[in-house]
Chain A
Amino acid sequence: MKILVCISKTPDTTAKIAFTDNNTKFAQDGVQWIINPYDEWYALVRAIELKEKDPSIVLHLVTVGAADTEPIIRKALALGGDEAIRVNAESHDSYYIASQIAEVARQGGYDLIFTGRETIDYNGASIGGMVAELLDMPYIPLATKFELNGTTATITREIEGGEEICEVPLPLVVSCQKGMAEQRIPNMKGIMSARTKPLKVVEPTAADTLTAIAGFGLPPAKAGVKLVPADNPAELVRLLHEEAKVI
């Protein structure tokens, strides 16, 4: 059994969002980078739990990025996983990135591919689906629970107002979100062992870019809060009804 977990580098959740170069590039100055939380807390930790239960599982991590993503992938390896693969390419186009991951997956012959539900920077939620299509595998998006029974997975996914439970044969691709696993903090042993785990760098395969970022913008600032006295909450209801017209 081989599992591949897709890891992405994102700005920290508290990073200041600003743009440079005439609003075409994210301002990276002073930004702390982290493992995309969905990739780390849910996809990676669930894969590590599966490996803890069945040590014969081979767990690989993959990222698509320049050399500056290596500290992030080492951090991920400190949590767990046997080795990592970095595809040496940078792109903001999901099809290009998915094509790279699909190629790594083809070479490695994985039974299970996990992604986070989306990255917290581009909020695309599309890499898992694209990889699944490129590999012609089933795809379960927004999974909240995952159990393996031999070569079949039992997966719970989010649906409107509830959840759906399904059984799917391997190989398959799953996008993971809250519920899959609990956040972990790497321990010293993990951090030390991550330094010597293999981190392979592969060159990208030829792939098209289907979209481009024309520019960024920030939403208009709020006009400021209108405070209603605590002894007159009925006034709030009047404002919501007559002024904001939302109730």
Chain B
Amino acid sequence: MSVLIFIDQAEGHIKKASYEAMSYGAKLAAQLGVQAEGVVLGAAKEDLAALGKYGVQKIHHVNNEALNHFDAQVFTKVIAQVVEKTGAQVVVFSNNVDGKGIAPRLAARLKAGLVPGAVALPETGNGFVVKKNVFSGKAFANIAVNTPIKIIALNPNSFKPEEGSGTAEVVAFNATVDAPKVKVTSTNKVSGEVPLSEASIVVSGGRGLKGPENWGLIEDLAKALGAATACSRPVADVHWRPHHEHVGQTGLAIAPDLYIAVGISGAIQHLAGVNRSKVIVVINKDPEAPFFKAADYGIVGDAFEVVPKITEAVKKLKGIA
């Protein structure tokens, strides 16, 4: 009996979302009175024993080079073997890019009820009920899972990782690994920038910025804050900014601690992508912009005057002026 946490890596490094999943899984294991165990696939460049700090007591490491690149089909079969061998009753994933590939597959393979996009620990007093976001963050649903094995995919940025002390026991797990059918030919990373999906602060620009040549305003503030940059749909549609920066209903849905929207009116479709942000700041010269209704803080003013002053104040605060 255990809670098994999938510890997702990128090129041998543990992803931020995995720390959240570990802390969540460890809390859940304590709640159920069972052990928290982790599974790592492929070569690892980090000290796995040190992950004990996040409450994981044992880590099953399947160090097979066929697992160095992501293939949801191959990964699922390996994790299923670990679940079977360890008798895990709950499997925790991050609902990130890889989790969305594996968790549903594993659910179908094990006939285990899946809650994708969980935002809180399960209620286990009477059954097993997990809260998740629905209607693109406009509501939540409590999902009852009725199967012996349960799978939870935790929404990124919805659970704070907690660091304690402890060392995990790392054991090599001998699994049957299929040859991957997916051949990864290249990886393009936007270097030196904070990945949008993992960022705790996001600065976002809309049509109010008038043109791509003005994006320095957004980038300077983002740099001062250590933030990622994003944009509204119209901005991506006219190619002022790349598509992968588009947040909203049909773009990326994010949940940072702080979302700063500059020159974005706040259409309902945009809000659907950002309404899970903990704090929303809106800067817009139109006091009637609907976004102000969803904001925690706001400035009614000209972005071209206001934003550089905010950047200066942030630099001063951080002592980088």
Contact = CB atoms under 8 A, between A and B. Distances in A.
A44 interface: no
B181 A159 contact: no
Interface stretch (B38-46, B166-174, B302-310): B302-310
A130 B104 contact: yes
A55 interface: no
Contacts of A150: none
Contact of A17 (B108, B139, B200): B139
A138 B182 contact: yes
Contacts, number: 289
Nearest to B236: A178
A188 interface: no
Nearest to A126: B104
Interface stretch (B50-58, B94-102, B212-220): B94-102
Interface string A151-192: 000100111111111111100100101110000000000000
A199 B306 CA distance: 56
A168 to B, nearest CB: 5
A134 to B, nearest CB: 5
B299 A230 contact: yes
B160 interface: no
B108 A130 contact: yes
A158 B168 CA distance: 31
Contact of B147 (A122, A210, A217, A219): A210
Interface in B226-245: 236, 243-244
Contacts of B294: 222
Contacts of B295: 222, 225
Given A141-B97, A226-B297, A216 B129 contact: no
B131 to A, nearest CB: 8
Contacts of B82: none
A129 B105 contact: yes
A210 B113 contact: yes
A98 B309 CA distance: 52
Interface string B46-67: 0000000000000000000000
A123 interface: yes
A211 B139 contact: no
A166 B108 contact: no
Given A121-B134, A124-B117, A233-B310, A133 B190 contact: no
13 contacts: A124-B116, A133-B109, A138-B72, A142-B100, A163-B188, A165-B188, A214-B142, A234-B310, A240-B281, A241-B317, A244-B258, A244-B279, A246-B201
Interface of A: 11, 13-14, 17, 19, 37-38, 41, 94-95, 98, 117, 120-130, 132-134, 136-142, 144, 154, 157-169, 172, 175, 177-179, 208-219, 222-223, 225-230, 233-234, 236-241, 244, 246-247
